[in-house]
Structure 1
Amino acid sequence: MSIVVHGRDLQGLLAPCLESVTGQLPPEVELVTAAVGENAQDVAVRHGGVVVPLPDGTTDAAARAAGAERARGTWLWFLSAKDRLLPGGPQAMLARLADVPDEVDVVLADHLRSTWRETDTTGADARLLARVGRRDLPIGEAPAPDLLRTAPLLGNRALRASFWHGRRERLGDPDEMYAARAALLLADRVACLEQPVVDVRELRPESLPPVTAQERYALVDAYERLQLLMQHEGTPAGPRAVLYDLMATGTLRVVAREKMPDAVAREFFHRASAAAVRWEPEGYRRPGGLEGIRRRLLEDDAYTKYRAFQAANHRRRDARAALREGKKRVGGKVRDLRYHRALREPVDANLAVFSAYWDRAVACNPGAIAAKLTELAPHIRPVWVISKANEALLPPGTDHIVPGTRRYWEVMARAKYLVNNVNFPNAVVKRPDAVHLQTHHGTPLKKMGLDQLDYPTAAQGLDFDALLARIDKWDYSVSANSHSTRMWEHAYPSHYVSLDHGYPRNDVYYRAGAADIRAVRDRLGIAPGRRAILYAPTHRDYEATWTPRLDLAALTERLGDDTVLLVRGHYFYGAAASPLAGLRRTGRVIDVSAYDPVEELALASDALITDYSSIMFDYANLDRPVISYADDWDTYAKTRGVYFDLMAEPPGHVARTQDELTELLATDAWRDAASAKARAHFRRRFCEFDDGRAAERVVRRVFLGEPEHALPPVLPLDARTPAPTPEEATA
């Protein structure tokens, strides 16, 4: 494949564009930069690859064509100089290209959009691409016509080089919308890739030259030329109906949303009207409702009536918005009234509210504490806060409340105990006789709380004043080790009491037996004797979506059928399309991103591969090998901030490249004496309070009021016996 970066160095964006390519360039991919102007050429030369120097004033279309002429790849992927490839994008595209038959001319992928303010976190075209899935289809075969509705860009599709050169007159059109949609119309077959592979940067309109009248009219012209193309090619009715709909909707959107002089807007409307009448498909029926009225006014070339209709709609919308806002204010006042009325009621000494991971599930330290509570203090009634979206996933019979409901505020007001591994909303009042227990959800390697002030990437969107107000509500803070205690007190300075009792969620690592481990492996489909390696990377603040940093296909191929990878993406990326779909069918990869609890995955595995995730501290309790795959440690440490140098004090072997990791796993080095020595040092430091009785200590101290000296003492590390390994469990 040839990645053809093209254009000017607009607003200094070419360098990060090229870095996004060169930082992950597989050997079977070449970089060709069609650099317009001296500045772009200087940047391109510094980043390597093939550089095609072009004079100032060269259009994007001419730059694409010049780059394509120098490209040697079987496939061409055009990337605007302002955009970026997402991590794992080239590998994902390559894998998809390798999987398509020779009849496929276009592979259409998903993308993200970013502005100066923010970046989308989910693919813009995911729904449309998912309908096609792994099939390859001609554009006329359902549901492929709807692919014309995907963003009309060249950066979100790869074109077979022979297809490009054979149809260069059409595909090299100056209008990118035309070229992108013509590619789908002309292709013999189209395949899809649901993973977002490119970040399309939308520049602030105020930073760009004003759009001329002729550029406005060019949109109508481009749609008409697409209609002519379909007429010439004998395109089936399905795509023609979709494109007609896009033309009508798209041109009306320009009139409604873009600021144009009235004369330009009137002429644009007139041209769009003529196109709508000229190309209306036979038997076409207008949509109903307001959109149908707009279409009729367009077909009638009734510009003045259209403007009056829009103005009336705006007035109605404004009136409805004002009414909604009024109702919202009234609703808020009613909620506040009910909540504050409930706050005047006595605290229910036998009521405890639990939440984990922003109301996602019964999980983590709160889950382990709630379970122990039913054993040691059954008179205290646990109620879980669960979001509406996750309500159906609750274990049967779980008493719960949904945020924002009437019962939610009543329970939050009356509860004696409030337990969370993050923070409760700002609106939750701290009553003098209520107890707030902060359990946290990991040992900190990365900077947290106020320590993020010096790291804007990590602190983006944080309101530190509000954070401090939430911290001031804590009565207790649970800690797994002295390192955590010090870091929490530094990052979250307030009056709470630190409970050096261990993490309750880690009790299972000393409580589980051989039968438990066999049962988990059976549920996961891991055969006895097969090595299972858990791969659990962390979230990166500087990445929009999660993509494995490893070439999992190559790794599993090298390790063979005797090894299975349990791959778990960070829960921050739970809504993103899984990049693992193509590997599941091999049987060597199991996607466990949605599997809960994570502790069971740890028990089922023989070793852990992670980067900077806090799972390493928990997993170390099992005294099993941990490998740190730290290919971007310097970047992570610089952008996120860290409390200690993991490279100097790792839990086991460190691999900085995939080759190093593969070598460790392909030999016995992953569990050698050096690994055990590093792990022993790591366990002494970070498994300090975890001994299998953390939940009991927390319940006795917080819920039963027992004094510190009466609690079960923490067992010394050498006196603890972790759960058996999978090998021991099957012996």
Structure 2
Amino acid sequence: MTLISFVVPAYRVQGYLRECLDSILGQPFGDVEVIGVDDASPDDSGEILAEYADRDPRVHPVRLTENIGLGPARNVGLDRAAGDYVWFVDGDDWLVPGCLPHVADRLRDTRPDVLIVDHVRAHWNNVGTRSAMRDVFPVPPGAATFALPERPETLRLLHTAWNRLVRREFLVERGFRFAPGWYEDVSFSYPALMAAERIGVLDRICLHYRQRRTGAITRTRGDRHFEVFAQWHRVFALIDAWGMDGLRPAIFERMIWHYLTVLGNGDRIAPELRAAFFAQMHADHLQFRPPAGYPVPPGVEGLKHRLVAAGRWRTFSALRGAHQTGETARRTVGRARRRLVPVVRRARNGALREYYRAETHRPIDPTLAVYAAYWYRGYSCNPAAVYEAARRLAPQVRGVWIVRRDRVAALPAGVEYVVAGTREYYRVLARARWLVNNVNFPDFVRKRPGSMHVQTHHGTPVKVMGLDQQRYPVGAMGMNFAGLLRRVDRWDYSVTSNSFSTQMWERAYPADYTTLEVGYPRNDRLARATAEECRRVRAALGLGEDEYVVLYAPTHREHLPGWRPPFDPDRLLDVLGPSGRLLMRSHYFHDRERLPRGPAAGGVLDVSGHDRIEDLYLAADVFVTDYSSAMFDYAVLDRPIVVYAPDWDTYRVARGVYFDLLAEPPGAVATDFPALLDLFRSGAVRAGTAERARAAFRARFCALDDGQAAERVVRRVFLDEPA
């Protein structure tokens, strides 16, 4: 029999579910099963569960036809569980590596009804806060088990389902189920502790409890938070039915603490509902208070308890307001100190910024769309494709590009532009109705009511991005994550090329934007390319029709700024033979290194200065790269791709990656330069194994690139047509 059945409900957790499943299945302990319950999730959570089930027989997906909520979804998983113990892990949390052998040893050694494990709160800003375990048990109980009346302080541990494993037969015998509604953990976890004859505590952090920036019920305002009262009423009904009055004082104190926690969180109870919530707290205090009293906490918390007991809402509200006023004053002083900037900098930028602020008080230009790409490096990528589609489909929209002064000459004829840093630059940023970029606009740009920011991104991610980089500080040196989130909060739309990108962006950039999962506009040209266009592009680059063209484009290493993969173009050309030609392109971060040399020298052409990388894709017969998102674009052409990854182990540890590229590549793989030469020498670049890998890669990442992505964006964003 399986030792542990994990029940993982999934609803709108596509950005986190892979990390959750990997953390379970990748443990050095295999006697587990995972019951993944797709609670009719409107995102790709169900598809992720099915994908994992296809490659791991321990995963058993259940797809519900209608949304039933977290508690009932857990019941569905419990009914299908076969393990000795059940662990209810939420789809956005994840296990600590290597924890399961310790959990399994404790379960086998002590056979508890309930085993509580420690956890850490993993906040979205990469700050971790410990649980109350050390406060509740300053002396760890070790392997000893106990009943709740022997150690009532156990009640002060967080009352969730995911920080404990429960013996399945114990659950079945006692008929324990999760009740519907929010705060369902209350009416499950407390009764389970009350009924358990053997409770164990493992003083080891086993789970990361994700504190999401958006999407969690703890950050969702509404009247559903009143459902917490019904959950606690169920607990006290069982106390009365089971005759457990000895536990009533400690459980009552926990109830009032929980109510105060919910009311005190401004993200949950709207101001207009607080008085009604407090009134119900007072009513429950009168109804359930133990006749002999209960342990009222000291200090300010005790004062709150006494105000609830007396029903004194106005005094309670005034106390809360005074506390918030003090906190606001402290934050204001802190912000003022941080905003002090050198006098020289103020003098240099002050006048133009004042002009920008003045322009933001003028009406938005209802016809103006501003475009930018790669920090004003020129006309390219998804914004360029959207611009061209908008000129065709929405001619009433006036498109203006922002470019650096040194990139003006590279603009196509007829494209209206402003130079970054000029007076005109600040004016169009202030007055535009639409702002389209594949990176973020500067921090000073305000999100004006009525304006619309469109983030097109510039690649499907291999390496981790956004908030996920906090776990890889070597590759995120100098990043201001608070500033990043302020920029992300301006987004109205996030354009993604596939469901995988959608999932990763939700986790890396948590905010309230709308995702347009429509394919990448810049790939429309690749999807529609004809043989004649490819011939024209090759001719423009000086490449003959019969030449065998290899494009090599490695990515940037943030953790090793000056490092380049070992690569000898002459040796590769020797292997390619007399018809071989090699195009070499540096990452755009190295644009100062771009030195276009015109005709190829010795069969090698430096194309780093070529503005439209799509031309290079169309010209190439084979694409060689490492961890660049360019592979996802080139795959649209269904031509051979080679992953050359000589530093894979270092890169994945230092920079972080979202999936194992060497296990799921788009073609042949080489981890050193001699192996790369062998791939071309042997013909493995086009062998059946490489072809099958590319087909699977294209099915996963390129299904939406059908040549119509830019039109879909324009119709939704500029013409306000339904998705």
TM-score by length of 1: 0.51
SS of aligned partner of 1:706: coil
Matches within 5 A, 1:640-655: 640-655=655-670
Other-structure match for 2:169 = none
Other-structure match for 1:404 = 421
Is the aligned partner of 1:615 residue 2:630?
A: yes
Displacement after TM superposition at 1:635 (Å): 0.8
Other-structure match for 1:497 = 514
- Partner of residue 371 from structure 1, selected from 368, 388, 393: 388
Other-structure match for 1:597 = 612
SS of aligned partner of 2:550: strand
SS of aligned partner of 2:667: coil
- Partner of residue 695 from structure 1, selected from 675, 692, 710: 710
Displacement after TM superposition at 1:338 (Å): 1.9
Matches within 5 A, 1:195-594: 329-330=346-347, 332-545=349-562, 547=564, 549-576=566-593, 584-586=600-602, 588-594=603-609
Displacement after TM superposition at 1:546 (Å): 5.7
Separation in 1 of the partners of 2:576 and 2:624? 14
SS of aligned partner of 2:474: helix
User: Once superposed, which parts of structure 1, at least 4 consecutive aligned residues long, lie more than 4 Å away?
Assistant: 324-328, 580-584
Other-structure match for 1:23 = none
Matches within 5 A, 1:665-676: 665-676=680-691
Separation in 1 of the partners of 2:594 and 2:562? 9
Matches within 5 A, 1:129-144: none
SS of aligned partner of 1:459: coil
The CA RMSD measured in Å over matched residues stands at 2.0
Contact kept in structure 1, 2:466 and 2:509, CA below 8 Å: yes
Contact kept in structure 1, 2:542 and 2:599, CA below 8 Å: no
Displacement after TM superposition at 1:611 (Å): 0.7
Displacement after TM superposition at 1:369 (Å): 0.3
1:585 partner amino acid: A
Displacement after TM superposition at 1:583 (Å): 11
Change (3 A) 1:544 1:329: closer
Contact kept in structure 1, 2:382 and 2:520, CA below 8 Å: yes
Matches within 5 A, 1:14-29: none
Displacement after TM superposition at 1:549 (Å): 2.3
Separation in 1 of the partners of 2:673 and 2:395? 51
1:360-388 Cα shifts (integer Å, max 9, x gaps): 01100000000001000011000001012
Contact kept in structure 1, 2:492 and 2:513, CA below 8 Å: yes
Separation in 2 of the partners of 1:634 and 1:537? 16
Separation in 2 of the partners of 1:416 and 1:326? 33
Separation in 2 of the partners of 1:330 and 1:487? 41
Is the aligned partner of 1:661 residue 2:679?
A: no
Change (3 A) 1:663 1:394: same
Contact kept in structure 1, 2:365 and 2:432, CA below 8 Å: yes
1:481 partner amino acid: N
SS of aligned partner of 2:704: coil
Contact kept in structure 2, 1:611 and 1:630, CA below 8 Å: yes
Change (3 A) 1:532 1:408: same
Contact kept in structure 2, 1:545 and 1:576, CA below 8 Å: no
Change (3 A) 1:581 1:330: closer
1:538-594 Cα shifts (integer Å, max 9, x gaps): 11123333645211111112222111111111111122376x9899521x2111111
Change (3 A) 1:377 1:526: same
Separation in 2 of the partners of 1:380 and 1:582? 38
Is the aligned partner of 1:626 residue 2:641?
A: yes
1:377-427 Cα shifts (integer Å, max 9, x gaps): 011000001012212322233211122211111111110000000000000
SS of aligned partner of 1:426: coil
Contact kept in structure 1, 2:497 and 2:704, CA below 8 Å: yes
Separation in 1 of the partners of 2:531 and 2:593? 35
Contact kept in structure 2, 1:401 and 1:407, CA below 8 Å: yes
1:338 partner amino acid: Y
Other-structure match for 1:179 = none
2:681 partner amino acid: A
1:75-111 Cα shifts (integer Å, max 9, x gaps): xxxxxxxxxxxxxxxxxxxxxxxxxxxxxxxxxxxxx
Separation in 1 of the partners of 2:699 and 2:578? 35
Separation in 2 of the partners of 1:467 and 1:577? 29
Displacement after TM superposition at 1:638 (Å): 0.8
Give identity over the alignment, percent. Answer: 50
Bigger shift: residues 478-487 or 391-400? 391-400
Displacement after TM superposition at 1:647 (Å): 0.8
Displacement after TM superposition at 1:456 (Å): 1.3
Separation in 2 of the partners of 1:547 and 1:624? 25
Contact kept in structure 2, 1:545 and 1:573, CA below 8 Å: no
1:587-645 Cα shifts (integer Å, max 9, x gaps): x2111111121011111111111111101111111111111111110011111000000
Change (3 A) 1:433 1:665: same
SS of aligned partner of 1:575: helix
SS of aligned partner of 1:341: helix
1:473-526 Cα shifts (integer Å, max 9, x gaps): 000000001100010010000000000111000001121212111010001111
Change (3 A) 1:652 1:344: same
Displacement after TM superposition at 1:659 (Å): 2.0
Displacement after TM superposition at 1:457 (Å): 1.8
Separation in 1 of the partners of 2:450 and 2:668? 49
Separation in 2 of the partners of 1:414 and 1:488? 28
Separation in 1 of the partners of 2:599 and 2:613? 21
SS of aligned partner of 1:419: strand
- Partner of residue 696 from structure 2, selected from 658, 662, 681: 681
TM-score by length of 2: 0.51
Change (3 A) 1:406 1:577: closer
1:674 partner amino acid: T
1:665 partner amino acid: F
2:557 partner amino acid: R
Displacement after TM superposition at 1:667 (Å): 3.1
Matches within 5 A, 1:181-196: none
Separation in 1 of the partners of 2:674 and 2:553? 19
2:640 partner amino acid: P
How many residues are paired up? 383
SS of aligned partner of 2:592: coil
1:609 partner amino acid: V
Other-structure match for 1:33 = none
Separation in 1 of the partners of 2:414 and 2:540? 23
Separation in 2 of the partners of 1:413 and 1:355? 15
Contact kept in structure 1, 2:565 and 2:646, CA below 8 Å: no
Matches within 5 A, 1:77-156: none
Separation in 2 of the partners of 1:524 and 1:573? 21
Displacement after TM superposition at 1:337 (Å): 2.8
- Partner of residue 719 from structure 2, selected from 704, 709, 715: 704
1:33-81 Cα shifts (integer Å, max 9, x gaps): xxxxxxxxxxxxxxxxxxxxxxxxxxxxxxxxxxxxxxxxxxxxxxxxx
Contact kept in structure 2, 1:546 and 1:573, CA below 8 Å: no
